[in-house]
Chain A
Amino acid sequence: MKIKKSTITENVGFNMTPMIDIVFQLIVFLMLASDFTNTDIQRVWLPEAFSAVEDKSPDATRLMVNVMHEAPFKQDCPQAKYDGGRLVFPCQIPEHWHIMIKGATYDQEKLLQVLRVEGDLDRERKNDPNSPSNRPIMIRADAGAPFGIIEKIMEAAGRALIWKIEIGATNPQK
């Protein structure tokens, strides 16, 4: 008996669609993740102000100083209360407040050093550390942050002869 030759051929081509999907997912994830790790902006609930102007075209050289609230070991704070981003009761525990620039925490001395270096980059009279600096900074403080911290930042800015200070605020929600 003549055995019939098998004519069935298997399709050995790769299905590329799932692979491309996964690659795209990875690219999107990595793009977002890398952006978040190097951001100037920390998560804070900004104070509300009707007259706050939209921060449309910020100076690219502007230094962002964040004042954010975080309890040690990321525990819940017994004092701070917010409702939909609106301050209900502020935290009065000094250890819970941090001055942060690009994700790193600074005390007043270190902040002064950073501001002096920043200020030196744009002095009105070049190479004169005693002339005012036109480098702007933005204080992006949580609505509940105690003013004492802002005072420290302003004092450091004053010592570094930086005078262009902006205070982060948000328009009230209706």
Chain B
Amino acid sequence: MARIKSKTEEASMDIPMTPMIDVIFQLMIFFMCSIHFKSLEGKLYSYLPKDKGMNMTVVTDPILDEVRISLVYNESKPPYLAEIKIGQQSIPDWDALKKQLATIWEGVDKTDVDRIIPFKIDPKSPKIPVQSIVKVLDICNEIGVRKVEFAAKTTQ
């Protein structure tokens, strides 16, 4: 007797996963590479004066006052490696510097923009790390001082 063939030849229901995985990987790589995260980098404007330094013009009406922030190299104070001074006065830390500069800035006569006294950053050693300089610049920006200068030695 002929054996009746049972209905076992069902259509294969397996979904081929390989192309889907391939496409997903491609999309992942594409998005990973093209996505723009929120930019973490920023900048501080530090425009050089046009009429000072190498191309000096004669100053007929000099501004005699300035607020000099000195950074004295001290290796025992990482990561800034600097002792802070305003003029001759020692400042214990950055918060104190901010308070002190804010007080000075409050008392500055701001009526004539051209005659506002400059805040001068004076790194006493070339070894002072950039982070310290940027910290002072940052504090000046935060309290609203825009006229910040860098002290430098005159070179031939």
**Chain A positions near chain B (C-beta within 8 angstroms):** 17, 21, 24-25, 28, 31-32, 46-56, 67, 86-90, 92, 130, 132, 138-139, 141-151, 154-155, 157-159, 161-171
Contacts and interface: CB of A to CB of B under 8 A. Distances in A.
B60 to A, nearest CB: 20
Contacts of A144: 79, 129-131
Contacts of A24: 26
Interface of B: 18-19, 22, 26, 29-30, 33, 39-50, 53-55, 78-79, 81, 123, 125-135, 137-138, 141-142, 150, 152, 155
A158 B48 contact: yes
Contacts of A154: 48, 150, 152
Interface of chain B: mostly helix, strand, loop or mixed: mixed
Given A32-B33, A143-B131, A146-B129, A89 B79 contact: yes
Nearest to A171: B42
A168 B46 CA distance: 10
Given A158-B54, A161-B55, A163-B48, A52 B130 contact: no
Nearest to B18: A17
28 contacts: A17-B18, A24-B26, A47-B130, A47-B135, A49-B42, A49-B138, A51-B44, A51-B141, A52-B138, A53-B43, A55-B41, A86-B79, A88-B79, A89-B78, A141-B130, A145-B129, A147-B129, A155-B155, A159-B54, A163-B47, A164-B47, A165-B46, A167-B44, A167-B45, A167-B46, A167-B134, A167-B137, A168-B41
